[in-house]
Amino acid sequence: MSKKADLNLSIQAIVIIILAITLLGLGLTFMRQFIGRGSESLSGILEGVQLENPATSNTPITVKRDITVQTGKTEELLVGFYCSSSAECINAKPGITQCVDKTNTLVTNPNPATILIAPQVKVGSHESIGYKAILTPPGVATLSPFICTIQVDSWSSNVPGQSDWKQSKQVIIEVI
């Protein structure tokens, strides 16, 4: 072979290697972004703009007022939360603190703390966030409707059990 052919073959090999590295980098970037979005949606946290009624400083908790759940089934519930604290809200989490049935009797079975399941998240100061929560019916359908209090507790410090910010809102849960 001639020296010119060897040089031409070397240039082609270098071009192929550069193209391969570029495509590999693009592929890795795409996968990192795709997997990052997927894991965020799995955590159950939504951007505030995805909520029909995002939380604001005037309405720090947003949730449907009337909720219908079938007996023995669960319902996905979207809850909006606005952190009005001057510091970030650590471990902010919505939950149900109490429910009363149509006879005005406090529901204790199941425990109100287990009726609404949602993740704990850190919310920046004066920012809003949305939660995907799972709602389990609070009792038997014959005692429906239930008036329940949804409360978001948050902490601006890492001291457990010392909630420094609480907001609540009442909802009506109809079990059919």
The DSSP bridge partners found for residue 154 are: 165
pLDDT at 42: 44
pLDDT at 43: 46
Q: What confidence tens digit (pLDDT) does each residue in 53-102 have?
A: 777 778 888 888 888 888 778 888 888 888 877 777 777 888 888 888 88
CATH assignment of 48-175, given 2.30.30.190, 1.10.1060.10, 2.60.40.2550, 1.10.3720.10? 2.60.40.2550
pLDDT at 164: 67
What is the rounded average pLDDT of the residues 133-139? Answer: 76
Query: Distance between CA 62 and CA 143 in Å, rounded?
Result: 26
pLDDT at 82: 82
- Domain positions in the chain are 1-42, 48-175
